[in-house]
Amino acid sequence: MATATNQYRPDHAVPPGWVLQERLEVEGLSHAEFARRCGRSPKLISEIVAGKAPLEPETALQFEKVLGVDASLWLGIESDYRLHRAREAEDAAASATWIGAFPVRELVKRGCFERPESDADAVSKLLAFFRVGSIDAWTARYGRANVAYRHSPSFRSDEAALATWLRLGELDAELQDCAEYGESRFKHAIRDIRVLTREPIDEALRRTAGLCNGAGVALALVPPLPKTALSGAARWLSPRKAVIQLTARHKSDDHLWFSFFHEAAHIVLHGKKSIFVDGSGVDDTGIEAEANEWASNALIPNRAWERFVAASPRGGNAVRAFADEQGIAPGIVVGMLQHRGLLPWTHLNGLKIELEWKAGE
């Protein structure tokens, strides 16, 4: 059975009442006189002119006799108009559903755009935020099926919320003046950043961003959005500029720094075509395990770690002494011990630094 393809679908339709009104003016007929000649009520004629009442076949036949315009033409105009209205309603419903998937209130709160005045305005503002021309264009560029996301099997985030959070990081990264990416410069920067983990967090992050920018990597700190259960992401804006994006959703320095080094591992080790999106950073398969291992070794060399854990450390003094020896924050040591099951999650959390997002960030 043949099916129609590439059909022309106009973006407008003329209601039959408009055509009728023009015809009556040409004929010099009032609504009341035309209704009398058709044997119908003036109210019905007025409602047809206003588009409030449909044009039925029996009425179309009466129009044909009085005005000399074939009934099939009247019914064709009516059919096209009603079909157009049905499509408009369907498109409006689809737009409302699409809008509802996005954290619009949060974007307004973060100053990304003004509060939308209508669904149509919300669609316009969201498309401008993502720099695409239509909902179909958004799906083609940002839909999960069209983006090479790579993440752990336990990762869970809503598609629209994830795309929104990534877009926020992209906008942040675009404002950062970065040198052309150089792998050796980035690896050197990572060694310097390791030492910064002992500094006050605000100063450490400021200097970390500067070191990353000098090596061709933007560092975007973007608070998590509702329905985004993630810690960070790594990707390339261009072959010469990479982005590390962090949420600090666990609000402790050990998670923040491990997430940074984990994302740095993706930049150093893995391809430029995928977007690496990471949840808790806990995974034992494939590239995530490789990134975890690289991050762990970058923070604490394997030999030093093995020597330390062989002594079965449990107290805060031992952890502080080892952190001083390695030149890193003690909270990182605590976090790694907890993650590997060598220390209960309830122990030594006082050595970690609690983080919080400042108002307006």
In contact, 189 and 215? CB cutoff 8 Å: yes
- What pTM does this model have? 0.76
Segments of the chain scoring below 50 in pLDDT: 1-10, 145-146, 152, 280-284, 359-360
Tell me the β-bridge partners of 229. Answer: 156
The pLDDT score that the predictor gives to residue 325 is 95
Kindly list the strands in the beta sheet with 149-150, ordered across the sheet, starting from the edge strand earlier in the chain. 149-150, 275-278, 232-238, 241-246, 217-221
pLDDT at 90: 61
pLDDT of residue 203: 95
H or E element at residue 242 = strand 241-246
Domain extents for the chain? Answer: 16-99, 104-142, 146-351
Element (H, E) at 187: helix 183-196
Q: Which of 240, 241, 258 is nearest to 249 (CA)?
A: 258
Reported as half-sphere exposure (CB side, CA atoms, 13 A), residue 287 has a value of 20
Query: What pLDDT shows up at residue 11?
Result: 52
pLDDT at 303: 95
Question: pLDDT by residue (tens digit) across 108-121?
Answer: 999 999 999 999 89
As a whole number of angstroms, the distance between CA 23 and CA 270 comes to: 70
Instruction: Give domain 16-99's CATH architecture.
Output: Orthogonal Bundle (1.10)
Task: Please give the Cα distance from 199 to 346 (Å, whole number).
Answer: 24
Confidence (pLDDT) at 150: 55
